[in-house]
């Protein structure tokens, strides 16, 4: 888990420099992604929290907020 820099949240910036964060919440086996900007939520049962790309959180940030800039990535 040290390779992807995600941990329990995904941060992206949009073109206006605003930060959008999707957090991972766990309740038993259920995991839920929650967007701090618009309240978007999505539950997932078995999706691994590993990849920085092709991920529901990054997809949502890109599509809903045009937030694709990863502050942790150079």
Q: What does the binding site for Zn ion look like in residue numbers (CB under 5 A)?
A: 35, 37-38, 40, 64
Q: For residues 14 and 28, give the distance between their C-alpha atoms in angstroms, rounded to a whole number.
A: 33
Q: 36-74 burial, b if ≥16 CB within 10 A, otherwise e?
A: ebeebeeeeeeeebeeeeebebbebbeeebebeebeeee
Nearer to Zn ion, 4 or 66 (CB): 66
Nearer to Zn ion, 38 or 72 (CB): 38
CB of residue 24 to Zn ion, shortest distance in Å: 14
Nearer to Zn ion, 64 or 72 (CB): 64
CB of residue 16 to Zn ion, shortest distance in Å: 15
Residues in the chain: 74
């Amino acid at each position: 888990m040290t390779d992807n820099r995600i941990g329990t949240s995904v941060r992206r910036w949009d073109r206006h420099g605003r930060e959008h964060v999707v957090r991972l919440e766990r309740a038993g086996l259920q995991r839920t992604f929650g967007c701090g900007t618009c309240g978007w939520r999505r539950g997932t049962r078995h999706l691994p929290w590993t990849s920085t790309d092709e991920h529901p959180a990054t997809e949502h940030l890109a599509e809903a907020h045009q937030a694709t800039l990863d502050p942790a990535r150079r």
